[in-house]
Structure 1
Amino acid sequence: MSKHALITGITGQDGSYLAELLLEQGYEVYGIMRRKSVVDYGNVEHIKDKIHFIYADMTDVISLISAMRISQADEVYNLAAQSFVATSWEQPLATAEIDALGVTNMLEAIRSVKPECRFYQASTSEMFGLVQEMPQTEKTPFYPRSPYGVAKLYGHWITKNYRESYGLFACSGILFNHESERRGLEFVTRKITDAVARIKFGVLDHVELGNMDSKRDWGHSKDYVRAMWLMLQQDKPDDYVIATNETRTVREFVETAFAHAGITVEWQGSGVDEIGIDKATGKTIVSVNKKFFRPAEVDVLLGNPAKAESVLGWKREISFSDLVERMVKNDLALVEHELKCQNV
């Protein structure tokens, strides 16, 4: 008899890759969706007929209890979140309702309906914020620097509390930045690769970005969802850092992205006056705008995945350069298709 899995946030980047993985493993996959006036399957449009969708909301515990009863899930993957850091400053209460209290609601639903169900909580490297040591591990003290990081830290600790207090099989994956072709356009990585494609095709002059010196540990979502699944296949529940142990600046991401489109970037100036110039044409293609700086910056994130590698047998397979290349190629194809449709 096949296992049942329930995924919150199934239409997002991670949810879609995880759904594909679980379907390949022979699971019956259930996904939670919020009811909207227009049905939007997001990143699972291509596999929607293979998924059982349930209307529910992370802020409504009754709907989550119902989702557990319908799915009879053996594994729950909580990927639903208000996951954009910048928005968490504009909507701190909504972020807390979904990313903090929503986790408690899901845990209560599991405890009420099927306490033997295994639970995965999507924690984040943003909980480290003002980092206390390099690199960050499972034992590094937390110091979140945004409403998003604070809300996620609550979700992380409540998961640990339910594990220790009620004996639930509950794990948190402290995932560092992971991107893909399915990343939303509001995230800086996808903003960059989309802009690269539009600049390449001559439909955009330049892209405005924030802190070019911010350093992040970037991996591919497809690798990271495999780690989520592995956590719930272990004999004992635990928390794991999932990362690449490599850090790159936003500037490096920009250079790599343009390089994959055949454009070489040269830099002039510094700080808010820094610009990137197309070496071949001399035109400005990157500029810095202070409005994209965070109220409290997280300057560097670098994760050590040694525990996940040794205990889970997990290994990152997609390199940084391959990640960026996949994103750029995807956006080049999307923009080319968009332009062809406009000219029909």
Structure 2
Amino acid sequence: MKKRALITGITGQDGSYLAEFLLSQGYEVIGMVRRTSTVNFERITHIQPHVTLVTGDLLDEVSLINMLREHRPTEVYNLAAQSFVQTSWPQPVFTGETTALGVTRMLDAVRLVDPDIRFYQASSSEMFGKVVEVPQKETTPFYPRSPYGVAKVYGHWITVNYRESYNMFACSGILFNHESPRRGLEFVTRKISHGVARIKLGLDQELRLGNLDAQRDWGFAGDYVEAMWLMLQQDHPDDYVIATGETHSVREFCELAFGHVGLNYQEYVVQDERFMRPAEVDLLIGDPSKAHTSLGWQPKTSFPTLVQMMVDADLQLLKEQNR
């Protein structure tokens, strides 16, 4: 029988790459979207004829129950959330409702409809926040530094709780920062690649950024979605850190991005207090050895390749938009 997967957040960066990957594995893919007048299907336009889109909302458990009953997936990938850290400060309650309690609603819907459904929860390296050890692994204590990070910690532990209390196949992937040309413009990596392309094409003269010394473990989203799938193919549910094991600063990202088009970032980047976080996360670097050993997963895309891919994609996009 054909495997059927439900992806919440299918219109997002990760959802679009995961949908592509699952289709390539022969899955029937169902994507949950909220009923809103501003849904953006841009990231999945090329695969839209091959997926079934259904309406549901993480704020409404009844809609989730009805959706599961109607479509009977064998796997659920819960990627939907208020996923921008900066927005979680002015919108902490909404972030908690979707990113924390939304996980409980989905888990509970799975428990009620079919507890044999395999469940994936998108956890985040932001849960480590003010890190207590370097690198961070599955056993590292959490110390979140934003409402988003706090909400993700709740989502992570409620997944563990349902797994242990109801014997459900529920996994969390603790994904470190993963980027791509499909990243939203509000994220610093895409802000840089898009800004570089605009400056190179003469559309802008400067790029305003926050903390250039913040360090992250950056990988390619297309590599990371394969790890999500691998987690649900194991004999037993568990949680895994998915990362490259390398760390790079925002400054280094700028240097590579501007250098790729023959420019010096120091001539264009301006630090702006408005983009500083109230509480910064200084050094995130993951230890993916458990994923390497247990899942056989390895990142395929290097950091310089990722940066160049994003800059090239934005140059192409802007050229098409400004013909």
TM-score of the superposed pair, with normalisation by structure 1 = 0.93
1:324 to 281, 286, 307: 307
Deviation sequence 1:149-177 (CA, Å, 0-9, x none): 00000000000000000000000000000
Give 1:143's aligned amino acid.
Y
SS in 1 for 2:185: coil
Corresponding position of 1:269:
none
Give 1:230's aligned amino acid.
L
Q: CA deviation at 1:262?
A: 1.8
Q: Measure the CA separation in 2 of the matches of 1:36 and 1:42.
A: 15
Deviation sequence 1:15-52 (CA, Å, 0-9, x none): 00000000011111001001122553231111111111
Q: Measure the CA separation in 2 of the matches of 1:38 and 1:136.
A: 37
Corresponding position of 2:287:
304
Q: Measure the CA separation in 1 of the matches of 2:105 and 2:190.
A: 31
Give 2:285's aligned amino acid.
L
Corresponding position of 2:269:
286
Deviation sequence 1:64-104 (CA, Å, 0-9, x none): 00111122010000000100000000100000000000000
Tell whether 2:288 aligns with 1:335. Answer: no
Q: Measure the CA separation in 1 of the matches of 2:208 and 2:292.
A: 37
Corresponding position of 1:273:
none
Written as runs of structure 1 = structure 2, the 5 A alignment for 1:1-344 is 1-265=1-265, 276-277=266-267, 285-340=268-323
Give 1:323's aligned amino acid.
L
Q: CA deviation at 1:263?
A: 1.4
Q: Measure the CA separation in 2 of the matches of 1:38 and 1:222.
A: 25
Q: CA deviation at 1:264?
A: 2.8
Q: CA deviation at 1:339?
A: 1.4
Give 2:181's aligned amino acid.
E
Structure 1 segments (4+ residues) deviating >6 Å: none
SS in 2 for 1:80: coil
Q: Measure the CA separation in 1 of the matches of 2:163 and 2:313.
A: 41
SS in 2 for 1:309: helix
Q: Report the count of equivalent residues.
A: 323
Segments of 5+ residues of structure 2 without an aligned counterpart are: none
Q: Measure the CA separation in 2 of the matches of 1:94 and 1:242.
A: 27
Is the CA contact (8 Å cut-off) linking 1:217 and 1:243 kept in structure 2?
Answer: yes
Q: Measure the CA separation in 1 of the matches of 2:222 and 2:155.
A: 23
Is the CA contact (8 Å cut-off) linking 1:30 and 1:52 kept in structure 2?
Answer: yes
Segments of 5+ residues of structure 1 without an aligned counterpart are: 266-275, 278-284
TM-score of the superposed pair, with normalisation by structure 2 = 0.99
Q: Measure the CA separation in 1 of the matches of 2:282 and 2:8.
A: 30
Identical pairs, percent: 62
Give 2:130's aligned amino acid.
L
